[in-house]
Chain A
Amino acid sequence: MIELATPTRASLESRELNAYYGDHHALADVTLAFRPLAVTALIGPSGCGKTTFLRTLNRIHEIASGARVTGQVLLDEENVYDPSVDPIALRRRVGMVFQRPNPFPTLSIADNVSSGLTKLRGEKRQEAVERALRAVGLWDEVSDRLRSSPLALSGGQQQRLCMARALAVEPEVLLMDEPTSALDPISSANIEELIRRLSDRYTIVIVTHNMQQAARVSDFTAFMLADESGSGRLIESNETNQIFFHPQDRRTEDYISGRFG
């Protein structure tokens, strides 16, 4: 792990954040600060806006047609929704891993990892690929077939490849949208262990529908729930232990204890 860039304590928080898909008000008034160099889990039932919230943090939400956002997301005190901000610069600092592994099918394994690297060339580029693949524990498995297609890898390997791809850009924040939901239990355990290991280098936000997973990997947990009109709201956030053992809100307790609708 030492080879990776020295951790920078990026602070990330949302203020009065609202998101819309066309007429649908998907996310309402979410204000939440993420602890740097820690794992925060976003939990809640389907349709509670947790994925939407995650996608507003790197402005990938806005590429869907009819999508818009009001309020603020602050990265190191800088509002990422300020008109002067280039979303591309933002996304290089805030990486993302998706629900299903999405390796680029026409690129080789090595090219997948280096696909976000615009400046590095030659040996430096190869080193960056190796570093990222080692960071996700994939190097030993794929070092002999870096030039072959990623589609031959297993689902778990593909997901780790996608993580390596995100890490190669050297982001400060890593967003993960249910990264293990498409994987078998063993691959999932690998990914969870990886998340734990990465948490001393990166500020990680993970969306999960799996409460045990949230309890295992996260330091902090935020519980979200949709209101009557279907808008996702933040109900409660705290240290993971507190959320699971001493929830303050009745609705959190109902959800945690499985007494939910």
Chain B
Amino acid sequence: MRRLGARTGSKIVDQIFVAVLLGAAIVFLAIILGLAASLVKGSLPSLRTFGFAFLWTSSWNPVTSIFGALPLIYGTVISSLIATVLAGVFGIFAAVFLSDFAPAFLARPLSFMIELLAAVPSVVFGLWGLFVLAPAMRNTIDPALQRTLGFLPIFSGPSYGVGLLTAGVILALMIIPTVTAISRDVLTTIPADQREASMSLGATKWETMMKVVVPAARAGIFGAIILALGRALGETIATTMVIGNRPEIAVSLFAPSYTLASVIANEFTEATSDIYLSALIELGLLLLIVSVVVNALARILMWSVFRGARSAR
């Protein structure tokens, strides 16, 4: 018994080691839970005062201390949807090109550049959007849309450059790398034999992609788009710089609008009353809940594809 039990010092070393690592994991967990708890706590006064009406009343008025988030929800959802549609259309086809059509000498640099685009800070997108994109929207793109599609109410009215559509475009540029990179990864997990089977039946490359490969990867691509949507919903600084910051619901996409995140960014340090502050924190809580739901959905979708690919191997 003596010889093997003698070196108990090493046992203690390992127990301390595990305890320290576990401690770090618990701290990490506490930070995440603390984040949620602090937002809930900060929102309580607002939740008590406005209840669920907070979500569907449309007056955001610090002067009268009446806060309804509907215009902000509208601005957040519409700008993100514009972004998601644009980024979806371009991003998926970009992914198709990179995964299947591109020769290596093109695929690598293009992938590299698109991935670097994801690294560009959002304040830089905002700066560019404010001084380059917004004037271009006001002087060229919006008038052109008005001339051709002006019969649609969403393309009516004056353009200020900053507004929902400009915010949507900037957000689209920011989330294209997410859509493209993940969709490309999903597409490459689709086994080669499916492509070969289709090609051997005489289908062209394009038909193979559109009828076989993309449908097989659709859950994962959808997941990528949802994930990108989540990014757009929570994006703050770039949106704040180009959306116009006006809490109103207008039909026209040229009109200025506001988002949940932008309101927090603009008004938090100026909030004078406790209820104002609490209403802003409740916006943050709303953002937190939406982003958790959206991300969970996206991960479930992508997980199903990647797991399927692994078990097929």
Contact = CB atoms under 8 A, between A and B. Distances in A.
Contact of A78 (B1, B7, B8, B11): B1
B18 to A, nearest CB: 12
A82 B7 CA distance: 14
B192 interface: no
Contacts of A93: 3-4
B1 A89 contact: no
A86 B1 contact: no
A5 to B, nearest CB: 15
SS of B interface (majority)? helix
Nearest to B7: A89
B178 to A, nearest CB: 34
A143 B5 CA distance: 37
Interface in B1-50: 1, 3-8, 10-11
Interface string A77-114: 01010101110111011000000000000000000000
Residue in A75, A76, A82, A89 whose Cβ sees the most chain B Cβ within 10 Å:
A89
B83 to A, nearest CB: 43
Interface in A50-98: 75-76, 78, 80, 82, 84-86, 88-90, 92-93
Contacts of B3: 76, 78, 89, 93
B10 A88 contact: yes
A42 B5 CA distance: 29
A144 B35 CA distance: 58
Contacts of A84: 1, 4-5
A89 B9 CA distance: 10
Contacts of A76: 3
A52 B186 CA distance: 38
Nearest to B12: A86
Nearest to A76: B3
A88 B7 contact: yes
Contacts of A88: 7, 10-11
A54 to B, nearest CB: 19
A84 B8 CA distance: 9
Residue in A85, A86, A90 whose Cβ sees the most chain B Cβ within 10 Å:
A86
Nearest to B1: A78
Nearest to A84: B5
Contacts of A75: 4
A192 to B, nearest CB: 31
Interface of B: 1, 3-8, 10-11
| In the A-B complex, the 3 residue pairs with the closest CB atoms | A89-B7, A84-B5, A85-B4
